[in-house]
């Protein structure tokens, strides 16, 4: 099993990722942390709690993280994910279970308490991760690797060059890419190919209750490519389980933190500015295999 801290901003594709994360025994979920991104951190925290509750995973602690980026003003993506961040399904009333500590402290405690190095997965703005790096630099030695959904080498989804998670807090992303952590970057280059096709979306609603729940959320998910709805954040988990489905290359990534290209991730593909690399970057994915795997994993969730 993979010991994981999962940093997220649910968010509809985040909800899809959490659904797999919380139900797959390959993942030993040590902590879920939340960040402002798709919607406010109050809403992303509530949404994470809705899902731990839905999947009967009250054993998984949820810790609330940063409410705004390090430098930039906060701007949400409610236009894509709805005002609540997870619209379309009634999760009922909640028992509260947020732990008292702020996300960065909870991460630090979890990392220090672990007997094995932790896999950190981040699928929202990278504010919490940057704060961890700055506040608890010794923790980096106990992080096996950081797997992120974010960035792009082939154009953006928020501006023509910037991907949403990096654009939301570029200063944090820059700290993360320069931290020396072993970083795997799953950007739009692959996540826009990891889609649920229109046919699969129709099938999903018939599979089981979780499929119905996800299908209801996806009906409200305004993100779409020519072929279907992109499951951006789910790529982190698919990659951890099936790295052979991705084509990877080691590249130096610079993050642009000001000017018209703010939030862009520039890959030194020709190795003209750096003779070293700081990220394992996904260039391509077997999209149909992803689509089939996602349906299978939802079908295997025991609704009872």
**Kind of pairing between the strands at 253-255 and 265-267:** antiparallel
Q: How far apart are CA 127 and CA 66, in angstroms?
A: 6
* Residue 82 CB, nearest approach to Ca ion (Å): 14
Q: Which of 3, 7, 14, 110 binds ligand BDR (CB under 6 A)?
A: 14
User: For residues 110 and 157, which CB has a smaller minimum distance to ligand BDR in the complex?
Assistant: 157
Q: Is residue 149 within the footprint of ligand BDR (CB under 6 A)?
A: yes
Stretch that binds ligand BDR, among 10-18, 138-146, 209-217, 241-249 (CB under 6 A): 10-18
The dihedral over CA atoms of 150, 156, 162, 165, expressed in degrees to the nearest 10, equals -30
Length of the chain: 304
User: For residues 175 and 234, which CB has a smaller minimum distance to ligand BDR in the complex?
Assistant: 234
Q: How far apart are CA 256 and CA 118, in angstroms?
A: 28
- Draw the binding track, 114-133, toward Ca ion (x: CB under 5 A; -: no contact): ---------xx---------
* Residue 11 CB, nearest approach to ligand BDR (Å): 4
Q: How far apart are CA 107 and CA 101, in angstroms?
A: 9
Annotation marks residue 232 as catalytic: yes
DSSP 68: S
Stretch that binds Ca ion, among 8-16, 52-60, 188-196, 211-219 (CB under 5 A): 8-16
152 binds, among ligand BDR, Ca ion, none (CB under 5 to 8 A by kind): none
Q: How far apart are CA 27 and CA 12, in angstroms?
A: 20
Beta bridge partners of 279: 251
Binding interface with Ca ion (CB under 5 A): 9, 11, 14, 123-124, 233
Catalytic machinery residues = 232
């Amino acid at each position: 099993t993979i010991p994981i801290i999962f940093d997220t901003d649910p968010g509809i594709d985040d909800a899809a990722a959490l659904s797999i994360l919380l139900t797959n025994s390959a993942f030993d979920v040590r902590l879920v942390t939340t960040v402002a991104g798709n919607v406010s951190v109050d809403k992303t925290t509530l949404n994470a709690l809705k899902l731990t509750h839905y999947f009967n995973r009250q054993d998984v602690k949820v810790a609330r993280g940063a409410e705004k980026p390090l430098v930039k003003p906060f701007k949400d993506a409610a236009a894509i994910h709805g005002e609540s961040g997870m619209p379309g399904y009634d999760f009922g009333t909640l028992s509260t279970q947020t732990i008292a500590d702020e996300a960065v402290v909870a991460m630090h405690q979890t990392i220090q308490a672990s007997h094995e190095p932790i896999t950190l997965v981040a699928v929202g703005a990278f504010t919490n991760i940057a704060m961890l790096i700055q506040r608890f630099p010794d923790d980096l030695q106990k992080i096996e690797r950081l797997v992120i959904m974010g960035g792009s080498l082939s154009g953006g989804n928020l501006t023509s060059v910037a991907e949403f998670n990096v654009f939301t807090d570029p200063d944090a992303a820059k700290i993360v890419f320069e931290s020396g952590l072993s970083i795997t970057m799953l950007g739009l280059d692959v996540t826009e190919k990891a889609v649920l096709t229109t046919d699969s979306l129709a099938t999903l609603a018939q599979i089981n209750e979780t499929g119905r729940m996800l299908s209801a959320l996806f009906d409200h998910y305004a993100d779409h490519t020519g072929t279907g709805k992109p499951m951006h954040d789910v790529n982190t988990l698919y990659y951890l389980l099936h790295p052979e489905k991705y084509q990877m290359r080691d590249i130096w990534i610079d993050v642009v933190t000001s000017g018209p290209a703010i939030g862009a991730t520039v890959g030194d593909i020709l190795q003209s500015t750096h003779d070293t690399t700081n990220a394992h970057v996904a260039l391509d994915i077997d999209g149909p295999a992803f689509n089939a795997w996602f349906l299978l994993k939802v079908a295997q969730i025991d609704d009872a």
